[in-house]
Every structure is written in structure tokens, then in C-alpha cells.
Amino acid sequence: MWQARRITPPLTDEDIAGLRAGDRVLINGVIYTGRDAAHKRMSEAIERGENLPFDPQGQLIYYVGPTPPKPGQVIGSAGPTSSYRMDPYAPILLSKGLKGMIGKGFMGRDVRDALVKYRGIYLSAIGGAGALIGKRIKQAEIIAYEDLGPEAVRRLVVEDFSAVVVYDMYGADLFKEGQSQYARMA
């Protein structure tokens, strides 16, 4: 049985410093959502000197566009989306205090460099497990850009939301480490 570290946003530099690529985490508390269109709007707001829909200081943003909830549900399927699409926007949000992102797949060099510079992490959630992840979301509320539908910014309250640290603040990359380990076994 694997051990997971429990983390609760907002996260501090000390919280981030204690997380390494490969660590499993269980997130409890508030996280925010946003995808491509929401990130574009938030980046433009920063450039204009406007406030964001939420204070990013110490927060995590989940790259998800959930499906509508069925009767009795808080949210529908809520699986992660491909993170590389947020590459143009992630560094500016990290510069404003965001501590991490949750998604799936690779992110670019600029994002990895920004995680080191601003002391952040990138977490991977399990792709294809959207229905199960949705059960970890206890509350969901649209807080901005409602016109974007599934891509609106939401405030989620999560309980034991499972993820793995892929990129840490030290520059480690779980994807590369995994490939290296596999190559040694071949």
C-alpha cells in the first residue's frame, strides 16, 4: 500500500519544498478550475492590472472542464485535461503566487523553469477516471466566466483528491525519471 501526503491549500513555500517528484498526495480543501479560455482571460486581466477571479496566493488550479452533474450530484465527470495547452499562461499565474497545477501529460520547459523560480509543483491526476474523481469533489461553484460553460472558473471543495507530483520545485521530472528507469530495465 502506498503512502500519500495530505496537503491543504493554500500552500506555503515550506509545503512545496517538502514535495518531490514521485510523491503521492491527497488534496483536501479548496482548489480552483480553469482551462484554455479561462487562462487566456486571467492572463489578459493580469496584463491590464485587474484582479483575478480568486486570489492565487498559495492555491492550486485544476485543468478540468467537468460535465454537468446528474440529479443528486455536485459535479459530473471531472477528469483532467491535457496540461500543455496552458503552457502560455502558467508562468504568469505562478508569478502571482499560484503554487501548482493539476492536469495530465507533459508541460513545457518554460513552465518547468517557472515552477523552480516561483517554488511551485505540477501534479498529475489520473486521466480516464473522471467519474471517480468527481466523487472526491464535495462542493462546486462557478465563480467567474460562466459564459465559458465547462471551462468557467470554479471553486471546488475536495476531499482526498489523489494526485502525483510530476514536476517539483527542484527541477525534477517524474516523466524523465520514469523513462530512465524503464530504459535501464530493458
Reported confidence tier of residue 174, pLDDT bands at 50, 70, 90: very high
Note the pLDDT of residue 3. Answer: 84
**Residue 156: all three cell numbers together:** 471546488
Which is more confident, 32 or 76? 32
Give the tens place of pLDDT for each residue, 124-163.
Answer: 997 766 777 888 899 999 999 999 999 999 999 999 999 9
Task: Say yes or no to pLDDT of 22 above 70.
Answer: yes
Q: How many CA atoms lie within 13 A of 174 on its CB side?
A: 21
The domain locations on the chain are 5-185
Cis peptide before 66 (omega within 30 of 0): no
Taking a C-beta distance cutoff of 8 angstroms, is the pair 151, 35 a contact?
A: yes
Q: Tens of pLDDT along 50-69?
A: 999 999 999 999 999 898 98
Higher pLDDT: 182 or 175? It is 175
Please say whether the beta carbons of 109 and 132 come within 8 A.
no
5-185 under CATH 3.20.130.10, yes or no: yes
pLDDT of 45: 97
Sign of CA dihedral 178, 24, 90, 103: positive
Residue 2 pLDDT level (bands cut at 50, 70, 90): low
Residue 135 and residue 99 in contact, taking contact as beta carbons nearer than 8 Å: no
Answer left, alpha or beta for residue 119, where phi above 0 means left and psi between -120 and 50 means alpha: left
* Under 8 Å between Cβ of 77 and 128: no
* 8 A C-beta contact, residue 93 and residue 153: no
